[in-house]
Structure 1
């Protein structure tokens, strides 16, 4: 049984926003007494989702002599309405199971689900749910069945040499686990960069819009200033014309009055005297 546990995972759960969608359980789970994987996951899921760690493992306490670990992988999926769904994939396995195999299972299921989700959108029919569960089971079984043939790949770059000299080689080689973790981190960084670029582009559009509005405001201000000057000149001209008309009228009345006393048209009577 112990050798089987070292080649197989015991339990796998996929959740989205803390809601369980898919569960896989190996037949080997019946050989471990008092192991309730669903209860363990429900206890740890809140802590896993609230943490900033995207990939990690947690030791599991069990009443049996078999040491188990919980492995998880998280990823955000942008929805059509601009929100983000948190996808969490959890695997429970014996501590001696090759970590690279577990990471391959986590990554392949996560990638497959994201492609499946993008393809089918919000369709959640029973047929679609069963369809992905088959994909999930196939990925797990494929990795487990090919465990022996892929052992050289899993152990490529490993620091173990079987002679207890692990510590002397630490840091001199990169193992597959580090490569997969680095790949996930690069994907997350790339997504963050894309989000930041989109925000900058959106900010740039807003700045361009603000510049356009400022230009329009400046143009409107110039037009208003020209019209104000035209109106001011027109009002000054009308005021001047009105003032000249009054002066002309007063002079005409004054001329008529003096001329009536002194004779028209050149004040002849007054000039002779």
Structure 2
């Protein structure tokens, strides 16, 4: 792979910040060490401008044109300079508690925009899902390795796609750039559709589970209601029977029926 192809498929530098405070960085030293500009200072200055507006947004801006990258010659070849145009892509998300999370990626302007946007979305999703806050409310510092793995994995996928198109020179890459962009958009959209379908399936499963739980609760409530109704009706019936019998046998203890009084004997008259 030539240097130009590597530049067109590599992230030079990336960072994740919280409220303009940088928490995690990724630095491709093999490339950034060859730049003749202070790229970190350029990124820091523009990060302040990007975060000046508290909003959720994903976009890019031109950072510098015709930046010289010095390439050391090998095997007796003459050292040469390569010009590159630097683009700064950013993805910022405003949380409900007004925390502003910003991801920036420094790349060559020939990098496929949609690919960089998808990479930043993956990083943001991974960070919010697993690393934004731990159970005790503290930030997790294991995310730096995970961010590096995501970037390297996406770079490898992009190079594989480039190789599949059979491009061997920069000119050929220019000719197939639009076609690759279209096809990559289709692949990414298909992935987004699959993720959407998976999310809908998970939501449906959750709804089904909730419905089953509510059904069980309703059945229990109906069962208790039936028991209470039967007990109430039985109590009323027994009370009515008690009243009717009591009218004949004497209330409240049925004394006339249970302990009837002996008939009195007639008095005999003496002559």
* CA drift at 1:140: 1.3
**Matched positions, count:** 221
* CA drift at 1:70: 2.5
Higher helix share: 1
2:42 aligned with 1:34, yes or no? yes
Q: Distance in 1 between matches of 2:4 and 2:191?
A: 27
Q: Distance in 2 between matches of 1:154 and 1:204?
A: 56
Change (3 A) 1:176 1:242: closer
Higher strand share: 2
Q: Kindly indicate whether the alpha-carbon contact (under 8 Å) linking 2:55 and 2:92 is maintained by their aligned counterparts in 1.
A: no
1:90-239 paired onto structure 2 within 5 Å = 90-94=103-107, 96-99=110-113, 101-102=115-116, 105-106=119-120, 109=123, 122=135, 129-130=141-142, 132-144=143-155, 147-151=158-162, 162=175, 175-239=186-250
Question: Aligned-residue CA RMSD in angstroms?
Answer: 5.4
Name the TM-score, length of structure 2 as normaliser. Answer: 0.53
Q: Kindly indicate whether the alpha-carbon contact (under 8 Å) linking 2:89 and 2:105 is maintained by their aligned counterparts in 1.
A: yes
Name the TM-score, length of structure 1 as normaliser. Answer: 0.53
Gaps spanning 5+ residues in structure 1: where?
Answer: 49-55, 75-85, 266-273
* CA drift at 1:221: 1.8
Task: Name which structure has the greater RCO, CA cutoff 8 Å, separation 6+.
Answer: 2
1:57 corresponding residue in structure 2: 58
Gaps spanning 5+ residues in structure 2: where?
Answer: 66-85, 167-172
